Amino acid sequence: MGCTGGTITTDGAYTVHKFVLADSGTNFVVDKARTVQVLVVAGGGGGASGGGGAGGYRVDATHSVTAGNYPVTVGDGGAGKDGGTNTPATNGNDSVFDTITAKGGGGGAGATAAAVGNNGGSGGGGGASDAGTSTGGTATPSGQGNNGGNNAGQLTSPYPSGGGGGAGAVGGSATGASTSGNGGIGIANSITGASVDYAGGGGGGV
């Protein structure tokens, strides 16, 4: 019989079940007790002045399942905001499979004095500021990503900002008067049969 759910492809001896946003809320149906490899990535945070943090990245190469239905939740990305606003963008939404939860990425900080990026799977980038250092959000919980980059006291127009953290590296901090930080890099994974980079952070705005 085999398992069902998601878009099904094969990679040599492996059967791949891929669930994307449109599949959220559907089931992975297991026919018998098995050990499966699982990759779960959450929705990334929205960007504002600071870049959005990547959604949390979780891998379990030996996850045990038994016969039954396993609902799959695929987290959407967070809403962005105009870079000139004083409030941060919205965090991404969590993705969930069985006992594995990947935390949504942190929204990028707004443009305000000492603005801070939101915490999340990876932290959102610190926002542009004319009044002091603006720091990136923290990767919370730890182990799913990296912190967002900082403004680091670049206080002159056009006010650069920090990049969002990625699964593979922290977000870049602003340098000089007009250079915002890059988003942190993602992580390459070949679970679908081809190497794909997952969970990269967004670059900072100005």
Where do the structural domains in the chain lie, given as residue ranges?
1-197
Ramachandran angles phi, psi of 27, nearest 5°? -110, 145
Is the pLDDT confidence value at 127 over 70? yes
The H-or-E segment that residue 206 falls in is none
pTM of the model: 0.94
Is the pLDDT confidence value at 7 over 70? yes
At residue 75, the pLDDT reads 98
Summarize the confidence of residues 89-109 as an average pLDDT: 97
Q: State the Cα–Cα distance between residues 176 and 125, nearest whole angstrom.
A: 16
pLDDT above 90 coverage of the chain, percent? 79
